[in-house]
Structure 1
Amino acid sequence: MESTSRQGLGWTPVQRLQGKTAVVIGAGQSPGEGIGNGRAAAMRFAREGARVLCADRRLDSAEETASLIRGEGFEAVAIEVDVAREKDLAAAMAEAKGRWGTLDILHNNVGVSLAAGDADLLEITEENFDNVVRINLRGTVFACKHAVPIMREQGSGAIVNVASSAGPGKYPYAAYKASKAGVIAFTEQLALQQAPFNIRANSILPGLIGTPMAVETRSKVWKMSREQIEAERVAKVPLGRQGSAWDVANAALFLACEESSFVTGVSLLVDGGRILNRI
């Protein structure tokens, strides 16, 4: 019987990804309290038996994730990847294929909003809009561009793109909403076009998740305490709490493993019912 703490951290002995190779783009995280979605997904995949290439713009943060995975007895390697550079994304896919022989799972988990200068339509600058779209949408598209040929050659693959409930739901800032809606549309197109090659593509739409990037950034920008930020976010969620990165990681695991082998083109909300508030 496993301990409750391990269950709470997404630990399971099932090994759904045994022998698989996963590339997690955005496997590091921002400084602050708690764990980010990318790190949680990388650790979740590894605990299920996957060999994980931890890619992030900050190599030290990616290495920290890989070190945590290796510390638990699993296999992981860190690589520096800036999603704004196509050559970095191509190199990451080639590294996974060259090191482990396959590329079975691509998990795109990069996203920025306020930290990159996102703003209301009447206040956003051209530079900041382009930067958010470059990271959130273009980065996802070009990561898939270089993963798909490998997956086609091997006749299988699962792509999980992290979009956002902001795509179809309420969100006040222009660039993030537009870019994440673009990720959803792109993922649907990807699923349809790659289905004949046995490649599945799905997106996750997280809601209000208590990650360092989400909470700490708002605390700094809005000059409010962490407790105030969290209280405001909890009040918006019908289930009465923020989600955790493990909630998102568990959704990613489902979409990456064979338990979802007949699921493609889906946008999976992980938001505690938050989107229902728009009705």
Structure 2
Amino acid sequence: MSGRLRDRIAIVVGAGSSGPGWGNGKAAAVLFAREGAKVLCVDIDEAAAQETAGIITGEGFEAAAVQADVTRAEQVEALVADCVARWGTVDILQNNVGILDSSGPVELSEAEWDKVISVNLKSMFLTCKFVLPVMERQRRGAIVNVGSIAGLRWTGIPYITYSTTKGAIPPFTRSIALQYAAKGIRANVVSPGLMNTPMIREPLKDAYADGDIDKMIEIRDAQCPMGHMGDAWDVASASLFLASDEARYITGTELIVDGGITAKMS
């Protein structure tokens, strides 16, 4: 690796994986560490956060795991304070936490609406709320928020809460980018397309293929112009670029990582 994040301190939120394999946050945390960052791996699932941190330290890099519910302000404030106490600052924030429900507005319960809005959007507000003052003090920082093309286009599944929350991420991020541009802080969005990660397996197997995971993957692969879904490393690589100094003059923008699917839908 080339040390693109050497001596940087990163918080990756949603750094665990919801099942065996590589989720977007897990891959990002490991890739950031391989490129020289010290990484605070945050997840609501303590074992998942510990697994990611263990991979990083097992490779000889530096990481720590924190269990936190990032919809709770006091827990977010505490994890940011933990990072600052441990390593002195926060240079990079990658927001990757997210859940989905494949229901439309009639089928969806009010409780589930509130839950997805809170996990997917309120969590991002809270992490930015407590990280931005740290970055402002040092007049440097990079925020990478993970969105989705579901916030841009209809992808065939009526997950209204998911598309609504992901659609809100670009304007949320632009607001931060423009407010803090003169203070040395950048904020950008990575919007993945159809990705083959552990997150899709249980929630989407019924929505696509009556419980058949292999068939669901086959259908989603066929939707992509390149003939296959992307994976967590595609999202991690895009996040790395936006977090690094290579993107030092890029802020308030959205990097779509989708193998061409949104171009095809235009």
TM class by shorter-chain length? over 0.9
Residues 1:268 and 1:236: Cα distance change in structure 2 (over 3 Å): same
Q: What residue number does 2:108 align with?
A: 124
Q: Is the 8 A contact 2:100 2:203 kept in 1?
A: no
Q: What residue number does 1:163 align with?
A: 147
The 2-side partners of 1:49 and 1:206 are apart by 24
Provide runs of 4+ in structure 1 moved above 3 Å: 220-223
The 2-side partners of 1:250 and 1:270 are apart by 10
2:78 pairs, out of 83, 91, 100, with 91
DSSP 3-state at the match of 2:142? strand
- The answer to which of 143-152 and 81-90 deviates more is 81-90
The 2-side partners of 1:250 and 1:20 are apart by 16
Shift of 1:273: 0.7
Give unmatched runs, 5+ long, in structure 2: none
* CA deviations over 1:195-247 (Å, ceiling 9, x no partner): 11100000110111100011233226664222101110011100111101000
The 2-side partners of 1:89 and 1:183 are apart by 19
- The answer to which of 180-189 and 221-230 deviates more is 221-230
Q: What residue number does 2:249 align with?
A: 262
Q: Is the 8 A contact 2:149 2:262 kept in 1?
A: yes
Q: What residue number does 1:153 align with?
A: 137
2:179 pairs, out of 193, 207, 212, with 193
Q: Is the 8 A contact 1:170 1:275 kept in 2?
A: no
DSSP 3-state at the match of 1:166? helix
- The answer to which of 162-171 and 149-158 deviates more is 162-171
How do 1:232-251 and structure 2 match up within 5 A?
Answer: 232-251=219-238
Give unmatched runs, 5+ long, in structure 1: 1-12
1:274 pairs, out of 240, 261, 266, with 261
The 2-side partners of 1:209 and 1:160 are apart by 18
